[in-house]
Structure 1
Amino acid sequence: MSFDYLQSITAGLDRNAALHDLMTEFGSDVWNYIYFLTRYKETADDLAQEVFIKVYEKMYTFRGHSSVKTWILSITRNTVHDYRRSAWFRRVMLSSGFMTAQQETAPSAEQDYMKHALREETWEVVLELPIKLREVLLLYAHHQLPMQQIGDLLGISQGTVKSRLSRARAKVNQHMRVHEGADERMAQHEET
């Protein structure tokens, strides 16, 4: 695919056909890149759709400063980063007091990697929670439902929602603290 191709599309030719061509050409690259970053097939499916919606909406902004593939993969990367900055991790981790405030300086590559690893581990811990705790945590943090709506949806009181949410956060934080302590002991052992 070339710059001229996208230019002709944005000049009034069939954008739907162009989107089909782009999805055929780059769909597997987009999906694989998302899966590599998130390690979740369902997330890759959802975000790949979101990427191609953005590509469709922004076709006319492509200027040819890079290849079409590079342009699409940059949209993909930004979409994944937006997903990771979503309220999910902020509401689970920050509101429970586990994570500290971000540093004022730009993070190093090691810090970025560690944040990514922490997020992946957090997902794994959440998925291991008992269903009653996991369900409340997902509805609150991921779907951003207020506690009253969660209670109505699950047929439980708002107090029970608060209790389950608190227990879910405590279990996630406990696991993270135990893991963090084990990492520190391992690092000290390696230094000696």
Structure 2
Amino acid sequence: MERIEKEELLEEVMIEHGDDLVRLAFHYVKDQETAKDMVQNSFIKCYEKIELFRFDSSLKTWLYRITINQCKDHLKSWHVRKVSVKNILEHAVASILPSTEDKVIQDVSNQEMKSFVQTLSTNYQEVIYLYYYKSFTIAEIAEVTGLNNNTVKTRLSRAKQKLRNLMKEDRIYD
């Protein structure tokens, strides 16, 4: 692939998927600027490795996989593991910028649901986010996360049950 073609493809991909990838990365790293860095690294990797892309899947799912791997690598890094959970949470709350979804979903019940989802483990947040907020199919989630379909279904089912239990405790879901 020629350099000009690669640059045009990269620009198109950045425009089409950039915001979605930042939101995905934010769910992992809980910091807007770090999320943007993760996505920038993903686009660099996409540019460098586009010749290796076999088109067995869509470019979108490949980019999601690259971004998730970038985030997981970041979270495994020495620096991130040494930072206290309290500091991460305080910084995340202070750095959240209103996204398109937040502007659309402004009523109280949806905000409560979002807070319930954020109490779930990353494994459950991941499948809830991709399934409900990004409208991915089970197969697409499996491809993006590297899990098998049954594992995705199980995590989705368990996440929904945990959400139901949380809502029952708050007397929202009777």
TM-score if structure 1 supplies the norm length? 0.43
Larger Rg: 1
TM-score if structure 2 supplies the norm length? 0.47
- Specify which structure has the bigger relative contact order, considering alpha-carbon pairs within 8 angstroms and separated by 6 or more residues: 2
